[in-house]
Structure 1
């Protein structure tokens, strides 16, 4: 596997590339132009400058997360072709610099959703937390305000402009159910996949986080059945998945080991993290350590190693430990610990497999 680390850019991250360089085994930086509004073209000048800085520290910049999809495309409004054309040009521009994978999602309005950014855990650390009852009874506008004020740094998917437009956006989605959202995703994919193929880029859709409806909005990338439906839409080699164990695994109905065994060959990018799920539907982020959460991280890595997985992997949301002040879920220390755990599992399974082959 090709270990990477998500980074939010100069001046927009408490973690520096110099810090990341000291984590053993990290080969690449997962990046984006986080100041670009959804729907705008990423210019070659902007892309080139960011990649040059990343490469100057000895990392590759093969994976972008994310090129956000404009809400007009998800809703299916008359102006969506303009934004799709912009998206196509961004794909072409990224390909000029050797980008291999674009991670994206198709979640209405909200990206990842949590109700608490710094929830205290028993060990004294804090972590992202999802309280089911609070979401069921919350005012979406108030939740967005709470989340957006949790950090002075950007929180992708929770851009401040959404707070001002929340009433308008909810009204726009009144006629969009799951079937319509699938229809709009299919339209988008059939437009962009030929460009992605020509550009040598794999479009890796991220699962919905959490993988069930919130605030009455449809969510469609929620489990193995969603992957099968995506394959039915297009068997293009550019139509692929970002396998996120924490997002899809937040539903007990999803067996992440079985999903890894079946879909790793269609997932050029994997986010491997753990969550602890409670009986009432709440869940919290934990360390990556298997025993700390509800997801069999050991089994996921074993499944990937058995297939000699060569895709890009990154640790995902970490706890906030040792007094670190950072973007919620994206500090240095716990993600570094996560990398060492994942690499340790990988090495152990590889050694066992090679010994068994003798």
Structure 2
């Protein structure tokens, strides 16, 4: 029976979690990127080769690129977007020449994955990532003061957001602001308050229909190059999978993924199946999505979330929360048997716990929390396979 390829994310030589740590956790592959190269520039063969050799010298494989960022100009079809698309094409070719054939990317406007609390304390003392709708409203309406922001929320949400804001200290306000807009690991870039509002203004006339069209136009140019280079593209879902700050979202549910796959038909136009991002929405039936879309799943993020009625959520233990991980894994195992090669999987995020509570780590990417997640997922897979 074929098994999923076990991988972990690595942020490069400055990552506090070393390649040795990742290998000791039992992973055989690494998910990584050239974060030092400015967004929109070509990744040269020399830089790719250098990074790959570091990984291979540690006894691991560079299995997936996460991510090659899509420049904002491409998303808005403005400025030098044609130049940036050509740069993206060349980067795909260069990655292929070095034997790297899976690329994860996203098409989220302005911000990558968004959280309001990077140190949410759980009952057992561990810390998790959290998205709190009250905090989002507090920031959007009373700190950023985005024009017309209040029309984006219900009266109850506004009242709770205002109450949350009024309890914030000056330090709390600064921390919330930095958490949302300063840039999380893997994000394209960070902003200060004024820059963030200016960035939001660039989407004033771009709704979900326009953004979906811009994504299709991008893929229509990129996917033929991916086909020639035998590089499997894997778009990551929106996180969270609904509009924030009035920005459009176009990769949030089954319908979105169907559209992306059908509009640009190719085996190389695929998805990153992120159970945490997609699992926030109650209308996303994850096992059914795997059954329907499995042929296009090129990469897997496995994590669970505990979702609240107002859209808030926090990262749960990998085998707990609202994601039906047992049924998800059953479908992924069935899918894996149909594939010619192992699908790379990584435990996505993890709790800050034990010795890591005293360490400075990338939010969500501690060693021990992900080690625990990988061990649980490995055990779940093995248990289902041998049942």
Query: Does the Cα contact within 8 Å between 1:117 and 1:147 map onto a contact in 2?
Result: no
Alignment of 1:243-322 (within 5 A): 243-289=273-319, 292-309=320-337, 310-322=342-354
Q: 1:148 to 1:213 in 2, by over 3 A?
A: closer
Q: SS of 1:288's equivalent?
A: coil
Shift of 1:149: 6.3
Q: Match for residue 31 of structure 2?
A: 30
Contact 1:274 1:297 in 2 (8 A): yes
| Residue 3 of structure 1, CA deviation | 0.9
Structure-2 residue corresponding to 1:217: 247
Q: CA shift at 1:328, angstroms?
A: 0.8
Secondary structure of 1:138's partner?
A: helix
Q: Contact 2:254–2:289 at 8 Å: present in 1 too? A: yes
**Structure 2 length normalisation: TM-score?**
0.86
Partner residue of 2:261 out of 231, 239, 261: 231
Segments of 4+ moved more than 4 angstroms: 140-144, 147-150, 161-164
Distance in 1, matches of 2:182 and 2:249, equals: 25
Separation in 2 of the partners of 1:209 and 1:2? 24
Give me the whole-angstrom Cα distance separating, in 2, the residues matched to 1:72 and 1:160.
16
Give yes or no for the alignment of 1:198 onto 2:228: yes
Q: Shift of residue 80 of structure 1?
A: 0.7
Report SS of the residue matched to 1:204.
strand
Q: 1:314 to 1:81 in 2, by over 3 A?
A: same
Structure 1 residue matching 2:119: 3-state secondary structure:
strand
Instruction: Calculate the aligned-residue CA RMSD, in Å.
Output: 1.7
Question: How many pairs align?
Answer: 345
1:168 Cα deviation from its structure 2 partner: 2.3
**Are the counterparts in 1 of residues 44 and 94 from structure 2 also a CA contact under 8 Å?**
yes
Residue in 2 that maps onto 1:128: 129
Does the alignment pair 1:334 with 2:366?
Answer: no
- Listed one character per residue, the Cα deviations across residues 243-275 of structure 1 (whole Å, up to 9, x for unaligned) are 000011111111112112222221110001011
Shift of 1:161: 4.8
The corresponding residue for 2:43 is 42
Q: Does the 8 Å CA contact 1:321/1:333 hold for their aligned counterparts?
A: yes
1:342–1:185 distance in 2 versus 1, CA, 3 Å = same
Aligned counterparts of 1:187 and 1:340: Cα–Cα separation in 2: 40
2:116 match = 115
Query: C-alpha separation between the residues in 2 aligned to 1:163 and 1:15?
Result: 31
Q: Which runs of 5+ in 2 are unaligned?
A: 145-173
Counterpart residue number, 2:218: 188
Q: What is the rounded CA distance, in whole Å, between the counterparts of 1:233 and 1:162 in structure 2?
A: 36
Q: More deviation in 201-210 or 15-24?
A: 15-24
Secondary structure in structure 2 of the residue aligned to 1:188: helix
* Residues in 2 aligned to 1:288 and 1:184: alpha-carbon distance in whole angstroms: 34
For 2:314 and 2:63, the matched residues in 1 are separated by 30
- CA 1:323–1:164: 2 relative to 1, 3 Å: farther
Distance 1:125 1:340 in 2: 18
Which deviations, in whole Å up to 9, do the C-alpha atoms of 1:62-85 show, x marking residues without a partner?
210000000000011142101000
CA distance in structure 2 between the aligned counterparts of 1:213 and 1:106, rounded to whole angstroms: 13
- Pick the aligned partner of 1:145 from 163, 178, 188: 178
* Matched position secondary structure for 2:314: strand
User: Shift in Å at residue 164 of structure 1?
Assistant: 6.1
Q: Does structure 2 retain, via aligned residues, the 8 Å contact 1:243–1:270? A: yes
Contact 1:144 1:158 in 2 (8 A): no
Matched, 1:98 2:131: no
Cα distance between partner residues in 2 of 1:318 and 1:148: 21
Aligned to 1:9: 12
Distance, in Å, in 2 between the alignment partners of 1:71 and 1:52 is 31
